[in-house]
Amino acid sequence: MRRAPVTRQIVSVVGGKDAASASTYQSTNPARTREVVASVGMADADTFAAACRTAKEAQREWAKVPAPVRGRVIASIGRLVEANAESLARLVTEEIGKPYAEALGEVREIVDTCDFFLGEGRRLYGQTVPSEMPDKNLFTFRNPVGVAAVITAGNFPVAVPSWYLVPALLCGNAVVWKPAEYAAASGHALYRLFAAAGLPDGVLNVVFADGAETFRGLERALEEGTVHKVGFTGSSEVGRKVGELAGRHLQSACLELGGKNPMVIMPDADLELAVEGALFSGFGTAGQRCTSLGTVIVHESVHDEFLRRFAEAVRAARIGEPDQDVLAGPLLDQKFADRYEEYLTWIQPHHRVVSGPTGRVTEDSPRQDFTGEGGLYYHPVVVDGVRPDDRLFLEETFGPIVGVTTFRTLDEAIELANLPGYGLSSSIYTTDARNAFRFREGVSAGMVSVNNSTSGAEAHLPFGGNGKSGNGSRQSGMWVLDQFTRWQAMNWDHSGRLQKAQMDVADI
Protein backbone atom coordinates (compact mmCIF):
# COMPACT_ATOMS: atom_id res chain seq x y z
CA MET A 1 0.00 0.00 0.00
CA ARG A 2 1.29 3.45 -0.84
CA ARG A 3 1.82 5.83 2.03
CA ALA A 4 -0.04 9.11 1.84
CA PRO A 5 2.30 11.72 0.36
CA VAL A 6 3.88 14.17 2.81
CA THR A 7 4.91 17.64 1.76
CA ARG A 8 8.15 18.60 3.43
CA GLN A 9 8.99 22.24 4.11
CA ILE A 10 12.66 22.88 3.52
CA VAL A 11 14.94 25.90 3.42
CA SER A 12 18.65 26.59 2.93
CA VAL A 13 20.96 26.00 5.89
CA VAL A 14 23.86 28.41 6.39
CA GLY A 15 26.15 28.23 9.41
CA GLY A 16 23.91 25.55 10.90
CA LYS A 17 20.84 27.81 10.84
CA ASP A 18 17.85 28.02 8.52
CA ALA A 19 18.41 30.86 6.08
CA ALA A 20 15.97 33.38 4.63
CA SER A 21 13.94 32.56 1.53
CA ALA A 22 13.01 34.97 -1.23
CA SER A 23 10.50 32.72 -3.03
CA THR A 24 9.06 29.22 -2.99
CA TYR A 25 9.53 26.30 -5.37
CA GLN A 26 7.52 23.08 -5.37
CA SER A 27 9.47 19.92 -5.97
CA THR A 28 7.06 17.36 -7.40
CA ASN A 29 6.99 13.60 -7.88
CA PRO A 30 7.51 12.94 -11.62
CA ALA A 31 5.56 9.70 -11.34
CA ARG A 32 2.49 11.70 -10.19
CA THR A 33 3.08 15.23 -11.30
CA ARG A 34 0.44 16.76 -9.07
CA GLU A 35 2.05 15.37 -5.91
CA VAL A 36 4.31 17.87 -4.15
CA VAL A 37 7.31 16.25 -2.44
CA ALA A 38 8.70 19.42 -0.89
CA SER A 39 7.93 23.06 -0.67
CA VAL A 40 11.37 24.63 -1.05
CA GLY A 41 12.30 28.07 0.26
CA MET A 42 14.51 29.56 -2.44
CA ALA A 43 17.36 31.84 -1.48
CA ASP A 44 18.65 34.83 -3.44
CA ALA A 45 22.14 35.89 -4.50
CA ASP A 46 22.72 37.70 -1.18
CA THR A 47 22.17 34.51 0.79
CA PHE A 48 24.48 32.58 -1.54
CA ALA A 49 27.24 35.15 -1.11
CA ALA A 50 26.64 35.26 2.67
CA ALA A 51 26.94 31.47 2.80
CA CYS A 52 30.35 31.72 1.13
CA ARG A 53 31.49 34.26 3.75
CA THR A 54 30.26 31.97 6.54
CA ALA A 55 32.06 29.06 4.94
CA LYS A 56 35.30 31.00 4.71
CA GLU A 57 35.11 31.80 8.43
CA ALA A 58 34.39 28.17 9.37
CA GLN A 59 37.08 26.80 7.08
CA ARG A 60 39.90 28.36 9.11
CA GLU A 61 39.11 26.16 12.11
CA TRP A 62 38.19 23.09 10.08
CA ALA A 63 41.57 23.15 8.34
CA LYS A 64 43.25 22.97 11.77
CA VAL A 65 41.45 19.73 12.64
CA PRO A 66 44.00 16.96 11.98
CA ALA A 67 43.24 15.14 8.73
CA PRO A 68 42.85 11.73 10.45
CA VAL A 69 40.18 13.30 12.70
CA ARG A 70 38.44 14.73 9.64
CA GLY A 71 38.64 11.19 8.25
CA ARG A 72 36.75 9.97 11.32
CA VAL A 73 33.94 12.43 10.54
CA ILE A 74 33.84 11.04 6.99
CA ALA A 75 33.60 7.53 8.52
CA SER A 76 30.58 8.70 10.58
CA ILE A 77 28.94 10.16 7.48
CA GLY A 78 29.34 6.78 5.76
CA ARG A 79 27.84 4.93 8.72
CA LEU A 80 24.90 7.34 8.98
CA VAL A 81 24.18 7.13 5.26
CA GLU A 82 24.34 3.33 5.44
CA ALA A 83 21.98 3.24 8.42
CA ASN A 84 19.52 5.48 6.56
CA ALA A 85 20.06 3.98 3.11
CA GLU A 86 16.51 2.77 2.56
CA SER A 87 14.73 5.95 3.56
CA LEU A 88 17.16 8.08 1.55
CA ALA A 89 16.72 5.84 -1.51
CA ARG A 90 12.92 5.95 -1.11
CA LEU A 91 13.05 9.72 -1.08
CA VAL A 92 15.21 9.78 -4.23
CA THR A 93 12.70 7.47 -5.92
CA GLU A 94 9.80 9.67 -4.86
CA GLU A 95 11.42 12.94 -5.87
CA ILE A 96 13.08 12.12 -9.21
CA GLY A 97 11.47 8.83 -10.21
CA LYS A 98 14.67 6.76 -10.17
CA PRO A 99 13.85 3.05 -9.82
CA TYR A 100 14.32 2.02 -6.19
CA ALA A 101 17.04 -0.58 -6.88
CA GLU A 102 19.06 2.08 -8.71
CA ALA A 103 18.40 4.65 -5.99
CA LEU A 104 19.70 2.20 -3.41
CA GLY A 105 22.78 1.70 -5.61
CA GLU A 106 23.24 5.44 -5.71
CA VAL A 107 23.18 5.61 -1.91
CA ARG A 108 25.68 2.72 -1.84
CA GLU A 109 27.98 4.90 -3.97
CA ILE A 110 28.06 7.50 -1.17
CA VAL A 111 29.11 4.85 1.33
CA ASP A 112 31.79 3.63 -1.12
CA THR A 113 33.08 7.19 -1.44
CA CYS A 114 33.24 7.59 2.34
CA ASP A 115 34.99 4.21 2.66
CA PHE A 116 37.65 5.40 0.25
CA PHE A 117 38.24 8.81 1.81
CA LEU A 118 38.09 7.98 5.50
CA GLY A 119 41.48 6.32 5.07
CA GLU A 120 42.79 9.19 2.97
CA GLY A 121 42.63 11.25 6.17
CA ARG A 122 45.61 9.19 7.36
CA ARG A 123 47.46 9.62 4.08
CA LEU A 124 47.03 12.90 2.20
CA TYR A 125 50.65 12.28 1.38
CA GLY A 126 53.14 14.92 0.51
CA GLN A 127 56.64 14.07 -0.75
CA THR A 128 60.29 14.50 0.08
CA VAL A 129 62.24 15.47 -3.01
CA PRO A 130 66.03 15.48 -3.58
CA SER A 131 67.67 18.88 -3.87
CA GLU A 132 70.36 19.84 -6.40
CA MET A 133 72.37 21.25 -3.48
CA PRO A 134 73.87 19.62 -0.38
CA ASP A 135 72.39 20.14 3.08
CA LYS A 136 69.08 21.20 1.66
CA ASN A 137 65.74 19.37 1.92
CA LEU A 138 62.74 19.72 -0.34
CA PHE A 139 59.17 18.81 0.58
CA THR A 140 55.68 19.04 -0.84
CA PHE A 141 52.46 19.46 1.12
CA ARG A 142 48.81 19.34 0.13
CA ASN A 143 46.94 22.39 1.42
CA PRO A 144 43.15 22.78 1.32
CA VAL A 145 41.97 25.22 -1.33
CA GLY A 146 39.58 27.06 1.02
CA VAL A 147 35.91 27.24 0.09
CA ALA A 148 34.39 25.14 -2.66
CA ALA A 149 31.12 26.21 -4.27
CA VAL A 150 29.44 23.06 -5.57
CA ILE A 151 26.51 23.09 -7.99
CA THR A 152 24.98 19.75 -8.89
CA ALA A 153 22.35 18.23 -11.17
CA GLY A 154 19.43 16.19 -9.88
CA ASN A 155 19.79 12.95 -11.89
CA PHE A 156 22.19 11.69 -9.22
CA PRO A 157 20.91 13.89 -6.39
CA VAL A 158 22.95 12.31 -3.59
CA ALA A 159 25.88 10.28 -5.03
CA VAL A 160 27.36 12.85 -7.40
CA PRO A 161 27.23 15.67 -4.79
CA SER A 162 29.04 13.33 -2.40
CA TRP A 163 31.83 12.92 -4.96
CA TYR A 164 32.54 16.61 -4.32
CA LEU A 165 31.51 16.99 -0.69
CA VAL A 166 33.36 14.04 0.82
CA PRO A 167 36.85 14.72 -0.59
CA ALA A 168 36.44 18.51 -0.25
CA LEU A 169 35.63 18.20 3.45
CA LEU A 170 38.26 15.53 4.07
CA CYS A 171 40.92 17.81 2.60
CA GLY A 172 40.01 20.59 5.04
CA ASN A 173 37.79 22.77 2.87
CA ALA A 174 34.40 24.26 3.61
CA VAL A 175 31.59 23.87 1.09
CA VAL A 176 28.58 25.81 -0.13
CA TRP A 177 26.42 23.34 -1.99
CA LYS A 178 23.57 24.22 -4.33
CA PRO A 179 21.54 21.13 -5.26
CA ALA A 180 19.14 21.05 -8.22
CA GLU A 181 15.82 22.48 -7.05
CA TYR A 182 13.80 19.58 -8.47
CA ALA A 183 15.85 17.29 -6.19
CA ALA A 184 15.90 19.62 -3.19
CA ALA A 185 14.34 17.24 -0.67
CA SER A 186 16.95 14.57 -1.43
CA GLY A 187 19.68 17.20 -1.12
CA HIS A 188 18.34 18.44 2.19
CA ALA A 189 18.15 14.89 3.55
CA LEU A 190 21.75 14.28 2.53
CA TYR A 191 22.85 17.56 4.11
CA ARG A 192 21.25 16.52 7.40
CA LEU A 193 23.10 13.21 7.44
CA PHE A 194 26.41 15.01 6.82
CA ALA A 195 25.65 17.58 9.53
CA ALA A 196 24.63 14.88 12.02
CA ALA A 197 28.04 13.22 11.62
CA GLY A 198 29.65 16.06 13.55
CA LEU A 199 30.68 18.68 11.01
CA PRO A 200 31.05 22.04 12.75
CA ASP A 201 28.45 24.64 11.72
CA GLY A 202 29.34 26.53 8.56
CA VAL A 203 31.73 23.89 7.21
CA LEU A 204 28.96 22.56 4.98
CA ASN A 205 26.16 24.85 3.87
CA VAL A 206 23.27 24.01 1.57
CA VAL A 207 21.64 26.75 -0.48
CA PHE A 208 18.53 26.28 -2.60
CA ALA A 209 18.41 28.87 -5.34
CA ASP A 210 17.58 29.11 -9.02
CA GLY A 211 20.27 29.30 -11.68
CA ALA A 212 20.25 33.09 -12.08
CA GLU A 213 20.49 33.85 -8.33
CA THR A 214 23.18 31.20 -7.89
CA PHE A 215 25.19 32.69 -10.72
CA ARG A 216 24.93 36.22 -9.31
CA GLY A 217 25.74 34.99 -5.79
CA LEU A 218 28.71 33.03 -7.06
CA GLU A 219 29.99 36.02 -9.02
CA ARG A 220 29.83 38.19 -5.90
CA ALA A 221 31.56 35.54 -3.79
CA LEU A 222 34.34 35.23 -6.36
CA GLU A 223 34.76 39.02 -6.32
CA GLU A 224 34.88 39.00 -2.53
CA GLY A 225 37.45 36.21 -2.56
CA THR A 226 35.33 33.76 -0.57
CA VAL A 227 35.26 30.96 -3.18
CA HIS A 228 38.43 29.18 -4.27
CA LYS A 229 37.08 26.25 -6.25
CA VAL A 230 33.90 25.74 -8.23
CA GLY A 231 32.51 22.27 -8.76
CA PHE A 232 29.79 21.91 -11.37
CA THR A 233 27.91 18.90 -12.73
CA GLY A 234 25.35 19.65 -15.43
CA SER A 235 25.00 20.63 -19.07
CA SER A 236 27.93 21.62 -21.30
CA GLU A 237 26.18 24.91 -22.00
CA VAL A 238 25.94 25.99 -18.35
CA GLY A 239 29.32 24.44 -17.57
CA ARG A 240 30.95 26.74 -20.10
CA LYS A 241 29.45 29.78 -18.32
CA VAL A 242 30.49 28.52 -14.89
CA GLY A 243 34.01 27.82 -16.15
CA GLU A 244 34.25 31.29 -17.69
CA LEU A 245 33.07 32.95 -14.49
CA ALA A 246 35.55 31.05 -12.34
CA GLY A 247 38.33 31.70 -14.87
CA ARG A 248 37.69 35.44 -14.88
CA HIS A 249 38.50 35.40 -11.15
CA LEU A 250 41.49 33.11 -11.66
CA GLN A 251 39.80 30.27 -9.82
CA SER A 252 39.63 26.80 -11.27
CA ALA A 253 36.49 24.84 -11.91
CA CYS A 254 35.93 21.11 -11.80
CA LEU A 255 33.43 20.60 -14.61
CA GLU A 256 31.55 17.37 -15.17
CA LEU A 257 29.33 17.98 -18.18
CA GLY A 258 27.34 16.19 -20.84
CA GLY A 259 28.19 13.25 -23.03
CA LYS A 260 27.31 11.68 -26.36
CA ASN A 261 28.66 8.34 -25.34
CA PRO A 262 29.29 5.89 -28.19
CA MET A 263 29.10 2.10 -28.14
CA VAL A 264 31.09 0.33 -30.88
CA ILE A 265 30.04 -3.20 -31.76
CA MET A 266 32.64 -5.23 -33.64
CA PRO A 267 31.76 -8.18 -35.91
CA ASP A 268 33.26 -10.56 -33.32
CA ALA A 269 31.15 -9.18 -30.43
CA ASP A 270 28.89 -11.26 -28.24
CA LEU A 271 25.67 -9.70 -29.54
CA GLU A 272 23.50 -10.83 -26.64
CA LEU A 273 25.85 -9.09 -24.21
CA ALA A 274 25.94 -5.99 -26.41
CA VAL A 275 22.14 -5.82 -26.49
CA GLU A 276 22.02 -6.04 -22.69
CA GLY A 277 24.64 -3.31 -22.38
CA ALA A 278 22.90 -1.03 -24.88
CA LEU A 279 19.56 -1.51 -23.16
CA PHE A 280 20.94 -0.63 -19.73
CA SER A 281 23.10 2.30 -20.78
CA GLY A 282 20.58 3.67 -23.27
CA PHE A 283 17.44 3.41 -21.23
CA GLY A 284 18.37 2.75 -17.59
CA THR A 285 17.71 5.93 -15.56
CA ALA A 286 15.49 6.79 -18.58
CA GLY A 287 18.68 7.73 -20.48
CA GLN A 288 19.32 10.58 -18.05
CA ARG A 289 22.89 9.87 -16.98
CA CYS A 290 25.75 11.91 -18.30
CA THR A 291 27.19 8.49 -19.13
CA SER A 292 24.07 7.26 -20.96
CA LEU A 293 24.51 5.71 -24.38
CA GLY A 294 24.13 8.19 -27.25
CA THR A 295 24.84 6.25 -30.44
CA VAL A 296 25.42 2.59 -31.23
CA ILE A 297 28.11 2.33 -33.92
CA VAL A 298 27.70 -1.21 -35.18
CA HIS A 299 29.69 -3.07 -37.84
CA GLU A 300 27.63 -3.36 -41.02
CA SER A 301 27.97 -7.16 -41.05
CA VAL A 302 26.14 -7.54 -37.71
CA HIS A 303 23.88 -4.48 -37.95
CA ASP A 304 20.67 -6.27 -38.93
CA GLU A 305 21.01 -9.00 -36.33
CA PHE A 306 21.96 -6.56 -33.55
CA LEU A 307 19.14 -4.19 -34.44
CA ARG A 308 16.54 -6.95 -34.52
CA ARG A 309 17.51 -8.13 -31.06
CA PHE A 310 17.95 -4.63 -29.63
CA ALA A 311 14.56 -3.43 -30.92
CA GLU A 312 12.91 -6.52 -29.49
CA ALA A 313 14.52 -5.96 -26.07
CA VAL A 314 13.53 -2.28 -26.06
CA ARG A 315 9.94 -3.03 -27.01
CA ALA A 316 9.74 -5.52 -24.15
CA ALA A 317 11.48 -3.27 -21.59
CA ARG A 318 9.41 -2.48 -18.51
CA ILE A 319 8.88 1.23 -18.04
CA GLY A 320 6.69 2.11 -15.11
CA GLU A 321 6.30 2.82 -11.41
CA PRO A 322 9.81 3.38 -10.05
CA ASP A 323 9.07 1.47 -6.85
CA GLN A 324 8.52 -1.65 -8.98
CA ASP A 325 11.01 -3.86 -10.81
CA VAL A 326 11.33 -1.69 -13.93
CA LEU A 327 14.13 -0.72 -16.33
CA ALA A 328 13.15 2.94 -16.05
CA GLY A 329 10.62 5.20 -14.41
CA PRO A 330 9.51 8.66 -15.49
CA LEU A 331 11.75 11.52 -16.62
CA LEU A 332 13.19 13.63 -13.82
CA ASP A 333 11.04 16.72 -14.06
CA GLN A 334 8.74 18.64 -16.40
CA LYS A 335 11.58 20.71 -17.87
CA PHE A 336 13.40 17.54 -18.92
CA ALA A 337 10.19 16.14 -20.42
CA ASP A 338 9.78 19.33 -22.47
CA ARG A 339 13.36 19.11 -23.71
CA TYR A 340 12.94 15.43 -24.51
CA GLU A 341 9.89 16.18 -26.66
CA GLU A 342 12.11 18.53 -28.62
CA TYR A 343 14.72 15.79 -29.20
CA LEU A 344 11.94 13.68 -30.74
CA THR A 345 11.55 16.36 -33.42
CA TRP A 346 15.14 15.65 -34.46
CA ILE A 347 13.95 12.37 -35.98
CA GLN A 348 14.14 12.81 -39.76
CA PRO A 349 12.38 11.13 -42.71
CA HIS A 350 15.59 9.19 -43.51
CA HIS A 351 15.54 7.65 -40.01
CA ARG A 352 13.72 4.48 -39.04
CA VAL A 353 12.22 4.13 -35.56
CA VAL A 354 12.41 0.43 -34.72
CA SER A 355 11.28 0.43 -31.10
CA GLY A 356 7.52 0.91 -31.43
CA PRO A 357 5.62 4.02 -30.33
CA THR A 358 7.38 7.25 -29.42
CA GLY A 359 6.38 10.00 -27.01
CA ARG A 360 4.44 9.99 -23.79
CA VAL A 361 3.04 6.77 -22.34
CA THR A 362 -0.70 7.34 -21.99
CA GLU A 363 -3.93 5.38 -22.02
CA ASP A 364 -3.99 5.84 -25.80
CA SER A 365 -0.33 4.83 -26.13
CA PRO A 366 0.15 2.31 -23.32
CA ARG A 367 3.09 0.00 -22.53
CA GLN A 368 2.30 -3.57 -21.72
CA ASP A 369 -0.25 -3.13 -18.95
CA PHE A 370 0.95 0.35 -17.98
CA THR A 371 -0.66 3.63 -18.98
CA GLY A 372 1.58 6.18 -17.34
CA GLU A 373 -0.92 7.34 -14.72
CA GLY A 374 -0.24 11.01 -15.28
CA GLY A 375 3.51 10.73 -14.71
CA LEU A 376 6.30 11.85 -17.04
CA TYR A 377 6.66 8.43 -18.67
CA TYR A 378 8.05 8.12 -22.19
CA HIS A 379 8.50 5.22 -24.58
CA PRO A 380 12.17 4.32 -25.15
CA VAL A 381 13.15 5.08 -28.74
CA VAL A 382 15.71 3.47 -31.05
CA VAL A 383 16.41 5.34 -34.28
CA ASP A 384 18.24 3.49 -37.05
CA GLY A 385 19.96 5.12 -40.03
CA VAL A 386 21.43 8.04 -38.09
CA ARG A 387 24.04 9.91 -40.16
CA PRO A 388 27.14 11.73 -38.90
CA ASP A 389 25.71 15.15 -39.74
CA ASP A 390 22.37 14.57 -37.98
CA ARG A 391 21.58 16.49 -34.81
CA LEU A 392 20.69 13.15 -33.29
CA PHE A 393 24.26 12.00 -33.92
CA LEU A 394 26.05 15.15 -32.82
CA GLU A 395 24.19 16.50 -29.79
CA GLU A 396 23.52 15.12 -26.35
CA THR A 397 19.95 13.99 -25.75
CA PHE A 398 19.31 13.66 -22.06
CA GLY A 399 16.52 11.10 -22.26
CA PRO A 400 15.47 7.70 -23.63
CA ILE A 401 16.53 7.92 -27.28
CA VAL A 402 19.41 6.03 -28.89
CA GLY A 403 20.68 6.36 -32.46
CA VAL A 404 22.20 3.55 -34.53
CA THR A 405 24.72 3.87 -37.34
CA THR A 406 27.14 1.54 -39.12
CA PHE A 407 30.87 1.34 -39.90
CA ARG A 408 33.28 -0.77 -41.93
CA THR A 409 36.70 -0.43 -40.23
CA LEU A 410 37.71 0.15 -36.64
CA ASP A 411 39.45 3.40 -37.62
CA GLU A 412 36.19 4.63 -39.08
CA ALA A 413 34.33 3.60 -35.89
CA ILE A 414 36.83 5.54 -33.75
CA GLU A 415 36.43 8.59 -35.95
CA LEU A 416 32.64 8.37 -35.61
CA ALA A 417 32.95 7.90 -31.85
CA ASN A 418 34.95 11.13 -31.54
CA LEU A 419 32.99 13.20 -34.05
CA PRO A 420 30.43 14.83 -31.70
CA GLY A 421 33.29 16.38 -29.71
CA TYR A 422 32.24 15.13 -26.29
CA GLY A 423 34.51 12.73 -24.45
CA LEU A 424 33.05 11.32 -21.27
CA SER A 425 32.36 7.61 -21.56
CA SER A 426 32.60 5.09 -24.38
CA SER A 427 32.33 1.38 -24.91
CA ILE A 428 33.42 -1.35 -27.31
CA TYR A 429 32.09 -4.88 -27.63
CA THR A 430 34.69 -7.27 -29.04
CA THR A 431 36.34 -10.58 -28.24
CA ASP A 432 39.69 -9.45 -29.66
CA ALA A 433 41.96 -7.65 -27.20
CA ARG A 434 43.72 -5.84 -30.06
CA ASN A 435 40.48 -4.07 -30.98
CA ALA A 436 39.91 -3.08 -27.36
CA PHE A 437 43.36 -1.51 -27.00
CA ARG A 438 43.25 0.24 -30.38
CA PHE A 439 39.88 1.70 -29.43
CA ARG A 440 41.15 2.81 -26.02
CA GLU A 441 44.04 4.60 -27.63
CA GLY A 442 41.99 6.30 -30.30
CA VAL A 443 38.86 7.33 -28.46
CA SER A 444 38.98 10.74 -26.82
CA ALA A 445 36.93 9.72 -23.79
CA GLY A 446 37.81 9.85 -20.11
CA MET A 447 36.31 6.41 -19.64
CA VAL A 448 36.36 3.31 -21.82
CA SER A 449 34.38 0.13 -21.19
CA VAL A 450 35.19 -3.16 -22.88
CA ASN A 451 32.21 -5.51 -23.10
CA ASN A 452 30.32 -3.36 -20.64
CA SER A 453 27.87 -0.50 -20.70
CA THR A 454 28.88 3.15 -21.03
CA SER A 455 27.27 3.94 -17.68
CA GLY A 456 27.95 2.56 -14.24
CA ALA A 457 31.45 3.77 -13.37
CA GLU A 458 32.79 2.63 -10.00
CA ALA A 459 33.37 5.24 -7.34
CA HIS A 460 37.15 4.91 -7.01
CA LEU A 461 38.31 5.31 -10.62
CA PRO A 462 38.93 8.72 -12.18
CA PHE A 463 35.62 10.05 -13.49
CA GLY A 464 35.47 12.89 -15.99
CA GLY A 465 35.63 13.91 -19.58
CA ASN A 466 37.34 15.80 -22.35
CA GLY A 467 36.09 18.20 -25.01
CA LYS A 468 32.49 19.26 -24.43
CA SER A 469 32.28 16.83 -21.49
CA GLY A 470 34.49 18.87 -19.19
CA ASN A 471 37.72 20.74 -18.74
CA GLY A 472 39.83 17.66 -18.14
CA SER A 473 39.29 17.57 -14.39
CA ARG A 474 38.76 14.19 -12.79
CA GLN A 475 36.64 13.25 -9.82
CA SER A 476 36.73 10.19 -7.57
CA GLY A 477 39.51 8.15 -6.05
CA MET A 478 42.85 9.73 -5.27
CA TRP A 479 42.71 11.80 -8.49
CA VAL A 480 40.12 14.19 -7.05
CA LEU A 481 42.57 15.24 -4.33
CA ASP A 482 44.19 17.50 -6.92
CA GLN A 483 40.87 19.37 -7.18
CA PHE A 484 40.54 20.06 -3.49
CA THR A 485 44.12 20.64 -2.45
CA ARG A 486 46.88 22.82 -3.81
CA TRP A 487 50.44 21.70 -3.72
CA GLN A 488 52.82 23.73 -1.61
CA ALA A 489 56.57 23.32 -2.14
CA MET A 490 58.96 23.90 0.75
CA ASN A 491 62.73 24.02 0.80
CA TRP A 492 64.81 23.96 3.94
CA ASP A 493 68.46 24.85 3.75
CA HIS A 494 70.57 23.76 6.74
CA SER A 495 73.98 24.42 5.16
CA GLY A 496 74.39 27.69 7.05
CA ARG A 497 75.10 29.65 3.86
CA LEU A 498 73.04 31.07 0.97
CA GLN A 499 72.92 28.37 -1.70
CA LYS A 500 71.48 29.65 -4.93
CA ALA A 501 69.40 27.33 -7.08
CA GLN A 502 70.73 26.85 -10.63
CA MET A 503 73.87 28.78 -9.66
CA ASP A 504 75.31 26.71 -6.81
CA VAL A 505 74.52 23.25 -8.17
CA ALA A 506 76.75 20.62 -6.52
CA ASP A 507 79.58 19.33 -8.79
CA ILE A 508 80.74 15.74 -8.97
> What's the sign of the alpha-carbon dihedral 450, 116, 63, 202?
positive
Interacting stretch for ligand UN1, rule CB under 6 A, among 47-55, 215-223, 287-295, 407-415?
287-295
CA 308 to mean position of chain CA atoms: 32
Single out the residue of 21, 54, 113, 155 in contact with ligand UN1 (rule: CB under 6 A).
155
Q: Are 257 and 289 in contact (CB under 8 A)?
A: no
Of the candidates 146, 402, 370, 150, the residue with the CA atom closest to the CA atom of residue 292: 402
**Beta carbon nearer to ligand UN1, 284 or 372:** 284
3-class DSSP assignment, residue 93: helix
Site for ligand UN1, residues 219 to 238, rule: CB under 6 A: 233
**Beta carbon nearer to ligand UN1, 78 or 284:** 284
Please, what is the Cα angle at 30 between 27 and 36, to 5 degrees? 35
Contact letters for ligand UN1, residues 242-281 (x by CB under 6 A): ----------------------------------------
**Beta carbon nearer to ligand UN1, 449 or 499:** 449
Interacting stretch for ligand UN1, rule CB under 6 A, among 68-76, 85-93, 154-162, 487-495?
154-162
**Beta carbon nearer to ligand UN1, 165 or 290:** 290
d(CA 63, CA 173): 7
Q: Contacts for 61-66 with beta carbons within 8 Å, 24 or more apart? A: 61/200, 62/169, 62/172, 62/173, 62/174, 62/200, 62/203, 63/144, 63/172, 63/173, 65/172
Q: HSE-up of 207 (CA within 13 Å, CB side)?
A: 34
Site for ligand UN1, residues 158 to 187, rule: CB under 6 A: 160
Min dist. Cβ of residue 218 to ligand UN1 (A): 20
430 is a contact residue toward ligand UN1 (CB under 6 A): no
**In this structure, what DSSP letter does residue 408 have?**
S
469 is a contact residue toward ligand UN1 (CB under 6 A): no
Single out the residue of 48, 62, 117, 156 in contact with ligand UN1 (rule: CB under 6 A).
156
- Virtual CA dihedral for 387, 389, 391, 394, nearest 10 degrees? 90
d(CA 228, CA 192): 24
378 is a contact residue toward ligand UN1 (CB under 6 A): no
Site for ligand UN1, residues 290 to 319, rule: CB under 6 A: 290-291
Contact letters for ligand UN1, residues 5-34 (x by CB under 6 A): ------------------------------
- Give the DSSP letter string of 487-506: EEEEEEE-SSS-PPTTTSPP
473 is a contact residue toward ligand UN1 (CB under 6 A): no
Contact letters for ligand UN1, residues 448-467 (x by CB under 6 A): -------xxx----------
- Give the DSSP letter string of 20-80: P-SEEEEEEETTEEEEEEEEEEEP-HHHHHHHHHHHHHHHHHHHHS-HHHHHHHHHHHHHH
**Beta carbon nearer to ligand UN1, 378 or 463:** 463
113 is a contact residue toward ligand UN1 (CB under 6 A): no
Which listed residue (256, 305, 373, 441) is catalytic?
256
Known catalytic residue: 237?
no
289 is a contact residue toward ligand UN1 (CB under 6 A): yes
Q: List residues near ligand UN1 by CB under 6 A.
A: 155-156, 160, 233, 289-291, 455-457
Residues catalogued as catalytic: 256
